[in-house]
Amino acid sequence: MTEALLELEDVEARYGQVKALHGVTLEVAEGEIVAVLGANGAGKTTTLRAISGLVSREGGIRFAGKSIARRSPEATTRLGIAHVPEGRGTLSGLSVRENLRLGAYVRRDRAGVREDEGRVLGYFPWLEDRADQRAGTLSGGEQQMLALARALMLRPRLLLLDEPSLGLAPKVVAEIFRIVAELNEREGLTVLVVEQNANLALEASSRAYVLEVGRVALSGSSPELRRDESVRRSYLGY
Amino acid sequence: MRRVLGIAVPLLAAAAAVGVFLLVPHLVSDFHSRDLAEAGVFFIAIVGLNLLTGYTGQISLGHGALMAIGGYTTAALVVHEHWRDVWTIPLAGIAAGIVGFLIGIPALRLSGLYLALATFAFAVAMPSLLKKFSGLTGGSQGLSFLESSPFQVTGLKGTVTVFGHTTTANHFLYYLTWGIGLVGLAIAWLIVRGRFGRAFRAIRDSEAAAASAGVNLPLYKTLAFALSGVYAGVAGSLFAIQSEIVNPLSFTVLLSILIVVGAVVGGLGSLPGLVLGALFIKYLPSLAGHVSTRPGAPDFIYGAAIILVVILLPGGAGGLLGRLFAPLTTWLYTRR
Amino acid sequence: MLLAFDWSQLAQQTVIGLSSGALWALLALAIVLIYRSTGVVNFAQGEMAMLSTFVAWSLVHHGFSFWEAFFATVALSFCGGVGIERAVIRPVERAPVLTIVIVTLGLVFVVDGIARWGWTAETKSLPNAFSTRPIQIAGVAFSIQDLGNIAVSIGLVLLIGVLFRYTKLGLALRAAAINPQESRLLGVRVSWMIAIGWGLAAALGAVAGMLTAPALASFDQNLMQPVLLYALAGAVLGGLESPVGAVVGSLLLGVFVNLVGTYVDWVGNDLRLPVALAVILGVLLIKPAGLFGRTAVRRV
């Protein structure tokens, strides 16, 4: 059995005195799209932050077999984990081009970066026209796509996507998920996506975990979970 | 039982404070009484600043200038109008309070660092302003009580008789300053516990939330400035009375900085530690001088001490005291 | 009337004003750099520059030429700035503004203390950076030193501008200042970027000090105190958020203060500083964001 690309084992995380994760265990294999579902406050965003190192955490976190439980966010990025945070994380004072450049900040292979710039613009051609525009003036959907493009500039092994649909119109969200699916198919990009919109997330992913109050309550293949009674009632609305 | 204790403990603390206040001059030398009186001046200014910065969150680096207003009001009244020095104290407080209020109005438009800069500029400008209006202020020479109005100075003859008790001038200054200081502290405590205090704290924590809860922001913010000005004015007045002379260099921006440091070290947003803040800024320079008299060493030690205290004790002495007494206060005041 | 007006005097005083303003601009730029990355005004910037100037003096005293000492001091000051940030600012990076302000105020004493301990209080002088000969341009006499100050200052500002706009490091520095958390997710070592910002600011201050000192016959530990105030005024005038503003504001202030000092007798030489302070107060009362700053929309 191949080793998973990302493994979380009994991970706990806290904000100051408040514990947000009470022991989360999950794994993501290379080439998969895995979704993390749950209500507000269930700990979905915290899980991604625990992986990146933005929040104090305990427990086993392994990436490509090596522990990253002690690594800072700057260091996890250097391992090839791209984290698109909740709210996009656009550097609004900088231009679109500068945002993209920062995506490749940790990379040293100039030729590779140029190649990727071409590829990324292939997925988001409109970015070229807006290259010198201030990123803060883009619409929400455009900023989300910029964030995705920026993440791709890292040539990441793992993409952490936090609530991509937040605050966006359905058409835009559909487009984003379509591009994510394409990236996964064409380039084998591994994705861990946190989503409140369970419908979307289950459609886009092959496996999913449902978090409740900082713990994994359910897990399984996405089609299975879609058919599951409790999931349907609590998260899918029917 | 706990309810009785809950009321008794603060009263006991207050009684202890008064007791210490009365006893100290008998335990220390005359010279030290004078030093403590000077610390008392800082204390009063710090209590006032704390009301402004600790409770409404407005940073002022200009309270030394407000002290100047108080000091010069006293000096002008004594020297030009031949008032008795101690009777000028209330007027000095009011004068500085009015200026504080006037500063508070434009301060409404500024926040955080910008307010700090504006008050900083005011403090730096004050000595030049004092020199310029020399008719009233005596210019760079300043105003000297002893030269112009020796008989208006209470401590002149070396002993002072009040209500039939005779003490030395230094002890008198100590009692006068710390007496006013304790009264000022009590008033501040009452303000903080009451409606004003709640409004102030609401403003400090979130102006937007306070405003939407109906707190009249401009009123309370300017009131806080005025109030802290009154304290600064009284402090400045007492400073003038102690020194028997004022000149522009008595009130440089350094004084403003010292008051802020004292308030932060004492603990912003709480009252118990402020005495320690006053003692800190009064005694640290001489302590630093004791460690080493090489030029520059006292400054270095002084600055390093300030930095260390602020880094290690973010809540100041008050915060530390709060943490130490937390178990007791929790036990006294929590319902179970 | 127009013919009787002394245009050459106006031109000379304007250049003199620009020259002072140019040096204030370097310190103002330092202040803005730190303000943008740390959110705080470093009240110790002037004293740090003063200490650098004394270091330069010692190097000259030991036989180095002015320019050799100059570059060495700039490098040393950069390291010093980084060191100060790591040692004293990093522990309070996340503390409220007032706490960090007090730390910088404490630094004023510490740095002042070091300067008074390491060097005597006797006045000293630095050799001139540029020749003191006057130069004739269009029949009007100007000082080479003034023109030199302006040239160095503008050159340095442009260099810093290029660093920030066109290099990877500059991009990282800007990102770290704008949005620290997101920048960390992109791999930017934000903490070190802040330290580098302090280093650059210290280097700028050093240049300001080393060019200010020769213009005076002699200097002592009080050298940079007025300069700090003028620099603060220039930075506030231009807008604390804006590096361009800091420079332009300081240049304008330099010309303004000098012309007012020359032509308005009541101000003369004593009230120049209060004029600068009045500018600070005036700007803060009318448009706190300054000439180039954006009026911040308060998010409720």
Q: Give me the mean pLDDT over the B226-238 stretch.
A: 95
Asked if the C-beta of B102 comes within 8 angstroms of chain C's C-beta atoms, the answer is: no
| φ, ψ for residue B293, nearest 5 deg | -105, 5
Choose, out of A105, A106, A154, A160, the residue to mutate when testing the contact with C (most C CBs < 10 Å).
Answer: A105
| φ, ψ for residue C96, nearest 5 deg | -60, 160
Q: Among 1.10.3470, 3.30.70, 1.10.15, 1.10.150, name the CATH number for the domain at B2-333.
A: 1.10.3470
Torsion sign, CA atoms A174, A176, A180, A183: positive
Chain B from 27 to 56: CB within 8 A of any C CB: 53
Q: Taking Cα atoms as reference points, which of A57, A50, A42 lies closest to residue A83?
A: A50
pLDDT score recorded for residue B164: 65
Would you call A17 exposed, middle or buried from its count of C-beta atoms within 10 A (0-12, 13-18, 19+)? Answer: exposed
Structure tokens given for C96? 């409220």
Which of these ranges, B89-103, C3-17, C48-62, has the smallest mean pLDDT?
A: C3-17
The overall average pLDDT reported for chain B is 84
Q: Considering only CB atoms, which chain C residues are within 8 Å of B109?
A: 285, 288
Q: What distance in Å separates residue B206's CA from the closest CA in chain C?
A: 10
Return the higher-pLDDT residue of C58 and B172.
C58
Q: What percent of chain B has pLDDT over 70?
A: 92
Choose, out of A74, A98, A155, A161, the residue to mutate when testing the contact with C (most C CBs < 10 Å).
Answer: A74
**Is residue B335 very low, low, confident or very high in pLDDT (cuts 50, 70, 90)?**
low
pLDDT score recorded for residue C299: 41
Structure tokens given for B96? 């500085």
Q: What is the spatial distance between Cα C212 and Cα C49, in angstroms, rounded to a whole number?
A: 10
Q: How many CB pairs under 8 A join B and C?
A: 130
Residue C299 CA to its chain's centroid (Å): 32
Torsional class of A213: left (φ above 0), alpha (ψ -120 to 50), beta (otherwise): left
Question: Residue B211: beta bridge partners?
Answer: none
Q: Taking Cα atoms as reference points, which of B63, B250, B124 lies closest to residue C232?
A: B124
Q: Do B268 and C112 touch (CB under 8 A)?
A: no
Q: Taking Cα atoms as reference points, which of A209, A211, A197 lies closest to residue A165?
A: A197
pLDDT score recorded for residue C261: 85
At which residue do the structure tokens 């487009």 appear?
A175
Q: How many CB pairs under 8 A join A and C?
A: 59
**Is residue C297 very low, low, confident or very high in pLDDT (cuts 50, 70, 90)?**
low
pLDDT score recorded for residue B150: 67
Torsion sign, CA atoms B310, B315, B317, B321: negative
Strand A190-194 versus strand A33-38 pairing type: parallel
**DSSP per residue, A165-178:** TTT--HHHHHHHHH
Q: Is the pLDDT of residue B270 over 80?
A: no
ipTM: 0.88
Count of other CB atoms within 10 angstroms of residue B21: 17
Q: What is the spatial distance between Cα A76 and Cα A61, in angstroms, rounded to a whole number?
A: 11
Count of other CB atoms within 10 angstroms of residue B314: 17
Q: Taking Cα atoms as reference points, which of C77, C21, C231, C155 lies closest to residue C163?
A: C155
Q: Closest partner residue to C110 among B59, B109, B300, by Cβ?
A: B300
B171: helix, strand or coil = helix
**DSSP per residue, chain C:** -TTTS-HHHHHHHHHHHHHHHHHHHHHHHHHHHHHHHHSS--TTHHHHHHHHHHHHHHHHHTT--HHHHHHHHHHHHHHHHHHHIIIIIGGGTTS-HHHHHHHHHHHHHHHHHHHHHHS-SS-B----SS---EEEETTEEEEHHHHHHHHHHHHHHHHHHHHHHHSHHHHHHHHHHH-HHHHHHTT--HHHHHHHHHHHHHHHHHHHHHHHHHHSS-B-TTTTHHHHHHHHHHHHHH-TT-HHHHHHHHHHHHHHHHHHHHH-TTTTTTTHHHHHHHHHHHHHHH-TTTTTSPPPPPP-
Q: Considering only CB atoms, which chain A residues are within 8 Å of C181?
A: 54, 85, 89
Q: Is the pLDDT of residue C216 over 70?
A: yes
Contact predicate C203/C159, CB 8 Å: no
Q: Taking Cα atoms as reference points, which of B130, B150, B149, B148 lies closest to residue B140?
A: B130
Q: What is the spatial distance between Cα C29 and Cα C43, in angstroms, rounded to a whole number?
A: 13
Q: Do A85 and C185 touch (CB under 8 A)?
A: yes
pLDDT score recorded for residue C298: 46
Choose, out of C43, C85, C86, C284, the residue to mutate when testing the contact with B (most B CBs < 10 Å).
Answer: C284
Q: What is the spatial distance between Cα C252 and Cα C248, in angstroms, rounded to a whole number?
A: 6
Q: Taking Cα atoms as reference points, which of B44, B58, B244 lies closest to residue B150?
A: B244
Q: Do B59 and C236 touch (CB under 8 A)?
A: no
Contact predicate C235/C215, CB 8 Å: no
Quick: pLDDT tens for C171-215. 999 999 988 889 999 999 999 999 999 999 999 999 999 999 988
Q: Give me the mean pLDDT over the B264-292 stretch.
A: 84
| φ, ψ for residue C158, nearest 5 deg | -65, -40
**Is residue B319 very low, low, confident or very high in pLDDT (cuts 50, 70, 90)?**
confident
Q: Do A72 and C184 touch (CB under 8 A)?
A: yes
Would you call B69 exposed, middle or buried from its count of C-beta atoms within 10 A (0-12, 13-18, 19+)? Answer: buried
pLDDT score recorded for residue C3: 63
Q: Closest partner residue to C187 among A74, A98, A101, by Cβ?
A: A74
Domain segments of chain C as ranges = 21-223
At which residue do the structure tokens 């791999």 appear?
C187
Q: Do C114 and B302 touch (CB under 8 A)?
A: no
Structure tokens given for A123? 């997925």
Domain segments of chain A as ranges = 6-90+159-236
Q: What is the spatial distance between Cα B26 and Cα B326, in angstroms, rounded to a whole number?
A: 33
Q: Is the pLDDT of residue B2 over 70?
A: no
**Is residue B151 very low, low, confident or very high in pLDDT (cuts 50, 70, 90)?**
low
CATH of domain A6-90+159-236: 3.40.50.300
Q: Is the pLDDT of residue C269 over 80?
A: no
The overall average pLDDT reported for chain A is 90
Listed in sequence order, the residues at least 6 apart from C67 whose beta carbon sits closer than 8 Å to its beta carbon are C129
Q: Is chain A in touch with chain B: ≥3 Cβ pairs within 8 A?
A: no
Q: What is the spatial distance between Cα A46 and Cα A163, in angstroms, rounded to a whole number?
A: 12
